[in-house]
Each structure stands twice: as structure tokens, then as C-alpha cells.
Structure 1
């Protein structure tokens, strides 16, 4: 497996902050200082670069540059891109792009949820109106139920009074029957008494005249 340092050889070096091609790497060394790794890039410097054409005359001199691993934004098949610590590595950029995409997706999802919440709030508002109307109806029904209870009590009282009236009527009918019997008895007694008195008067009159008693 090729070492990371060897992957930096025979590649063009581009500086993003400077916006130019720095040169072509011909050799590389690794240096360690204060627990920090450095790459010493030996490269041919571009000169007389014009019209975007590459030719041997462009490499007129060589120089060395010292970079940290974190200065490297990305390493491609032919190019090393440097950010000089001002540009995050490509993986970090990709990670940030991925985070941004996730954030945008979450924002869209949140907007969708907010629309759903808004819709649910409207539905809840309508349901609240229905509940309030039902509560008013329940209160009216409770009032009607109370009135019905009072009416029922009054009807029960009236039924009791009616039953008493029926019993009283029965009593009156019994008394009336007794009165009729008494009246009939009195009538019979009076009729018998009158008949007896008349018979007695007639008999006395006949006796006074010396006649026989009448049989009435």
C-alpha cells in the first residue's frame, strides 16, 4: 500500500486562498516538530504560464514549501488542493454539506409539520366550537331534566290526590247507597205507619158505629 506522503508526489499544487497553481511536486519529506507533522514539498515553480498551455519552459525554478496535513483540502489523481488552514478539508466540507442537506430536509419536514399542526389547530378550533355547543345543549338538557323531575313530583302528588279523590268518591257512593237504603226504609216505615194509623182510625169509626172492623 502506498504511503500517504508518496500520494503527494507528481501532482500539481493549487492554493485556494491565493487562487493559483503553486507548482508541480517532484519530491516530499516528512518532518516532525513539537508533536506536529509537516510535509516538505519540493516542487517546480510555474513561470511564463499563459493562455492555459503547459510546456517544459514553464518550470524555470524549484522551491520548497512546508505544510501541515490539515492544510490539505483534498488530494486528487493529479492535483493537491491547499487551503492553508483557511479552507476546511474536503471531507469536512462534504460533512458540512451533508449536515446542511440534513438541516434543509429537517427544515422542510418542520415546515410540513407546522402545516399539519396549523391544520390540526384549525380542526381543534372547530372541535372546540362543537364541544362548547354540546356543553350548552347538555346544560339545557340538565335544566329540562330538573323541570321534568319537578313535574314528575307534581304528577305523583296529583296522582296521590287523584287516588284520594277516587277513594273519597267510593266513600260517597257507599254513603249514597246507605242514604238510599235509609230513605227506602223511612219511606217503608212511613207508608206502614200511615197505613196502620188509617186502619186504626177506620176501625175506631166502625166500632163507634157498631160495624165490623175492616181488613185493609
Structure 2
């Protein structure tokens, strides 16, 4: 089935500074949030395509010495020749960009608004309701390098993500936490040392009754 967007999805990079909220977390870490990265109607076109055409799976993973079903659906897309992605004892199949052309459109949009970025992999997550979630974690795998830039696009149900205290603190302080309402069509960029010093999550939300799809673009380092 062919898929063609009705509207040009590529944002104007000149609007980046106008739309963006920049949070300096200190010590070389920052977050950039663009609430209206993609147009509203275009975002729903992407959502409908991804919800119905991505080969979603809900794998069994190993956490803290026990096996459990991952509390969200997932899919992995990557350029050819990259090292395998493995997390929590699970190695997802790596699909190609050419299998899902709309993902290439979103990737082009991300690259255009973030000049100099060179993302070559994408992890998609689908949260089908408020009980689906991802716990506190950092994307600090060696295959992403020491200071990875990660771009996260959200579609569908608004969910709030939270930033807990820096890892080196055992007790949290109010100014060590940040929360973002990840709106439909928004872009969140994590930059600098944030994967080294911070954790992030998408917590359970009882009032979240509909589906949210999240796309996290990353650059896998090659030897």
C-alpha cells in the first residue's frame, strides 16, 4: 500500500527558535522542546499510518533477574550495517527505512530542524493506554557514544514525562526534576551529558485512555 501525505511535513527551520523551549539542566545537559514540531493534521496522518502499518510487537524482556512482558509495543528501524540493538535481554529485528517511507519523511523533518544531526536508527514505542509505560532509565548504551543527541517525536495521546534527580544524588530535590507534557506532534531533544547524568520516564497515567506513539531517533556509532 502506497502512502502519500496530503501536506508537506517538513517544518521551517527558521521557526525552530520561535517555537522551542530550552531548559539548561547544568553541567553540559539540556533539553529542547518544540510543542508544534509537526502540523496538527499531518501528525494525525502519521499516527494513523504508524498505528496500522508498523509491525508492532510486545516482547518478553528480562529485568532485575526475572522475565516479564514489556509494558508497551515496540519496533526498531535502522540503517544497514549498524551493530545490533540489545536491551534487557531482547534483540529486536532491525527493519529498513525503505519498508516504511513515512518514517523517512519524519526523519527528514528532524534533520532539517536540527542541522548537523545524522540519525541512523529509530526505536518506536506505542502506549495503548494509561497502564502502558516506560520506567526510569537513561539511553547510555555504548553504541550511542558518550554524549548522544536523541530526538523524540510524540503522536497521539498527551502523556507527561518526568525527569528525576541527577544520578549522583540519592535524594531528590525539587529543582532536580522537570516534567514535560509531550503534545501531539511535538519534538523533545535531549542533548549533551543528559544520558550520563539524568534519567527519564513515561509513567503510568490513569486518565490516559487512548493511544500514544513515540519515535526516538538516535545515531548508532560505527567502528
Bigger proportion of residues as strand: 2
Question: Shorter-chain-normalised TM-score: which range?
Answer: under 0.3
Larger relative helix fraction:
1
Q: What is the TM-score normalised by the length of structure 1?
A: 0.20
Q: Which has the higher contact order (CA 8 A, sep 6+)?
A: 2
Give the TM-score, by structure 2 length: 0.19
